């Protein structure tokens, strides 16, 4: 999508006659009553992510590098099924070749949000993969091997990520998947992530907050790296604002504040899967 083209978003709209809801694609600059015929339930900029070319390319290359033979791929938080289709294509699966009854050479797409599941089914059907990818409308921690999926998966692909790495319950979700849904020593995309917690002030001034970003290593060879840093793409940096601005990088004799250095402490809550950032100036 070019920078000059209209920004597109998903909107969840309700048909007042049938009571059914459906995600539709609109231009953000659509205005006026003629552009909205059904009650609006929700809006999301999900399409920004789907149009993030560097992100898509990194995932595609990593999946093609990881899924090199027929296997069982599990996509957690599948959304529109974008990554599931990449995995299916890497194995040469299509509606004419797939067998959902086999645990080898299959893709399971797990998505808990029903409106998104309905959209995913349409996307898969229009791309000729409606029968080659098994869609399960459940949370991943509700999946049962032998009931919802025929066997443990060999490969996990996912994008349950945010700008601060762990904010969407990443660790509990992955821990459950490894314990209950995946084979021993499974392959994963992304492969690992690096986040940085050291704060260095390069110029004196007043600090109102700071940003965080992550380098995602997509493959075991460290050849494919996707950063959420300052480069322009869908993923933005996480912003942490201070309750009270402080002076930094200034000699004590030059300011009334004694805050001249900073320590950032990241605390992970395994129960909720949330990452709490504490910042202490001294």
* Residue 140 sits in the same domain as residue 253: no
Global pTM reads 0.65
3 domain residue, yes or no: no
> Is residue 53 domain-shared with residue 181, that is, in the same domain?
yes
Q: Show the tokens assigned to 13.
A: 């709209």
Same domain, 132 and 266: no
Is 112 among the domain residues? yes
pLDDT tens-place string over residues 241-268:
878 888 876 554 444 444 445 555 555 4
Q: What is the pLDDT of residues 181-218, one digit of tens each?
A: 999 999 999 887 766 555 667 778 888 877 777 777 78
Q: For strands 106-110 and 238-248, give the pairing.
A: unpaired
In terms of domains, do 181 and 263 share one?
no
Strands 214-217 vs 262-269: parallel, antiparallel or unpaired: unpaired
**Phi and psi, residue 153, nearest 5°:** -85, 150
Task: Give the residue numbers spanning the domain of 210.
Answer: 194-281
Domain boundary among 143, 176, 193: 193
How far, rounded to the nearest angstrom, does the alpha carbon of residue 249 sit from its chain's CA centroid? 36
Residues 86 and 173 in one domain: yes
Is 168 marked active-site?
yes
List 22, 38, 64, 168, catalytic entry: 168
First-to-last C-alpha distance (Å) of the chain: 47
CA pair distance 274, 55, nearest whole angstrom: 24
Is 64 marked active-site?
A: no
SS3 of 57-100: the string is HHHHHHHHHHCCCCCEEEEECCCCCHHHHHHHHHCCCCCCCCCC
């Amino acid at each position: 999508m070019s920078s000059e083209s209209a920004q597109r978003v998903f909107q969840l709209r309700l048909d007042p006659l049938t009571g059914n809801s459906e995600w539709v694609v609109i231009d953000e600059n659509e205005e006026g009553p003629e552009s909205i015929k059904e009650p609006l339930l929700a809006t999301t900029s999900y399409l920004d992510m789907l149009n993030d070319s560097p992100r898509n390319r990194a995932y595609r290359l990593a999946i093609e590098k990881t899924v090199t033979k027929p296997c069982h791929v599990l996509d957690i938080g599948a959304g529109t099924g974008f990554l599931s289709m990449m995995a299916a294509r890497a194995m040469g699966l299509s509606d004419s070749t797939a067998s959902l009854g086999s645990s080898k050479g299959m893709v399971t797409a797990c998505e808990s949000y029903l409106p998104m599941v309905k959209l995913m089914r349409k996307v898969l059907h229009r791309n000729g993969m409606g029968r080659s990818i098994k869609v399960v409308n459940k949370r991943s921690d509700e999946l049962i091997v032998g009931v919802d999926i025929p066997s443990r998966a060999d490969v996990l692909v996912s994008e349950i990520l945010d700008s601060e790495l762990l904010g969407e319950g990443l660790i509990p979700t992955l821990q459950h998947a490894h314990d209950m849904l995946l084979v021993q020593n499974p392959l994963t995309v992304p492969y690992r992530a690096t986040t940085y917690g050291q704060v260095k002030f390069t110029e004196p001034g007043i600090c109102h907050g700071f940003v965080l970003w992550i380098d995602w290593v997509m493959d075991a060879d460290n050849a494919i790296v996707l950063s959420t840093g300052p480069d322009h793409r869908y993923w933005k940096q996480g912003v942490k604002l201070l309750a009270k601005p402080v002076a930094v990088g200034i000699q004590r004799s030059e300011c009334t504040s004694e805050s001249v250095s900073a320590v950032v402490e990241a605390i992970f809550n395994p129960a909720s899967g949330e990452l709490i950032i504490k910042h202490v100036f001294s």
